[in-house]
Amino acid sequence: MKTRTTLALLALTLGALPAMAQQLDAHGIGRTELVRQDFDTTREAIQVRVDFGPGAAFPRHSHPGVEIAHVLQGSVEYVLDGKPVILKTGDSVYIPAGVVHSARNAGSGNAAELATYIVEKNKPVVVLAKP
């Protein structure tokens, strides 16, 4: 029952996302954590809105669990295991645990994604890849 409640809350969050104003860092990236909830005894569900200013990119990294990214605005290029894929508003991608990937704004305006993670507790959510 707890998992159903968590999923319902995650779904309800989607309706409020487009109107949210985001602060971008010096690299043109804004991250707003929306939900963090125990998923089971060893994992947690985390949902984050990621905003990309024009030309902004997030470097190669991985996660200690799965990520599902849904493009809310603009277009985002993901490079998964060296293979590029461009997603536009309304498209989604599933990224398995531990897969090294990057993301960048592929358009000329702003872009945004909703990233949902089911990750191991007590581990960093983002692990930067070695060059």
Q: What is the pLDDT along the chain (131 residues), one digit of tens a residue?
A: 554 444 444 444 444 444 444 688 888 999 999 999 999 999 999 999 999 999 999 999 999 999 999 999 999 999 998 999 999 999 999 999 999 999 999 999 999 999 999 999 999 999 999 98
Give residue 17's pLDDT. 42
Residue-level pLDDT at 77: 98
Tokens 């191991």 correspond to: 120
Architecture of the domain made up of 2-128 = Sandwich (2.60)
Where exactly are the structural domains of the chain?
2-128
Type of residue numbered 110? N
Total-model pTM = 0.81
Q: Are 28 and 110 in contact (CB under 8 A)?
A: no
Strand partners of residue 20: none
Specify whether the CB–CB gap between 87 and 79 falls below 8 A.
no
DSSP conformation letters of the chain: -HHHHHHHHHHHHHTTSTT------TTSEEEEEEEEEE-SSSEEEEEEEEEE-TT-EEEEEE-SEEEEEEEEESEEEEEETTEEEEEETT-EEEE-TT--EEEEE-SSS-EEEEEEEEEETTS-S-EEPP-
Q: In degrees rounded to 5, what are phi and psi of residue 5?
A: -60, -45
Structure confidence at residue 27 (pLDDT): 87
**pLDDT score of 9:** 42
- Check residue 22 and give its pLDDT: 62
